Amino acid sequence: MTQIQDHTPTEANWQMFLRKHWPAFAFFISAVILAVAGAVYIFIWFTGNAQSTGLVPAVLGMWSMGNIVAFILHAIFWELILIGIPVAIGAVVAWQWWKRLPGAEKSNLSWKRSKSSRAGGAISPLLFIAFALKVYVDGNWNVAISTFTLDYIVGSMVTILLLIVAIFAIPATVGIIWWIRHEMNKKP
């Protein structure tokens, strides 16, 4: 009698691969867990030190846009130095290990790529940067954020959105006009 298999050939190949290389797999999983835990610990450590060293006020209502930007840049710096460099070294080690595997072991493995239905998340950081620039241009860089009025924030966002529309609309209009002229000048 034949037995019905529960797994596709790709899943079976991955299971065999992981059984053969379980120490390396366990090491890489442990490294990922340590990196995530370390990143959280570094952020907590940095937040406590940022308040005690005077980088940022302890009361959030007293933070200015300058405090926010300085806090973000310093946090990124410490995360990159203390976590990013070891993770990059670990990624190079993992890549070298993968390259040294025999081709026969890697040839039976396939990666199923899923199509993501989510769009990229680049808009929010860009809007924050644009808002920070608007606050700087307005001269409110070192003013406590708690003093910003709703009218100021809404007006700033509308101004930023209009600038973004202008930045994209002008080249789009020029391109459409060029395309229409190009199509009209074609001879049938």
Each residue of 149-175: pLDDT tens digit?
Answer: 888 888 898 899 889 888 888 998 999
Convert the pLDDT of each residue in 37-53 to its tens digit: 999 999 999 988 888 89
* CA angle, residues 58, 40, 119, in degrees to nearest 5: 100
Question: Token digits for 150?
Answer: 């709703």
Report how far residue 6's alpha carbon sits from residue 117's, in angstroms, rounded to the nearest whole number: 28
pLDDT for 110 equals 65
Q: What is the mean pLDDT of residues 143-149?
A: 89
Please give the residue that has the higher pLDDT: either 97 or 74: 74
Report how far residue 151's alpha carbon sits from residue 147's, in angstroms, rounded to the nearest whole number: 11
Q: List the helix and strand counts (H, then E) for the chain.
A: 7, 0
Q: How confident is the model at residue 11 (pLDDT cuts 50, 70, 90)?
A: low
* CA angle, residues 71, 73, 74, in degrees to nearest 5: 65
Q: What is the pTM of this model?
A: 0.65
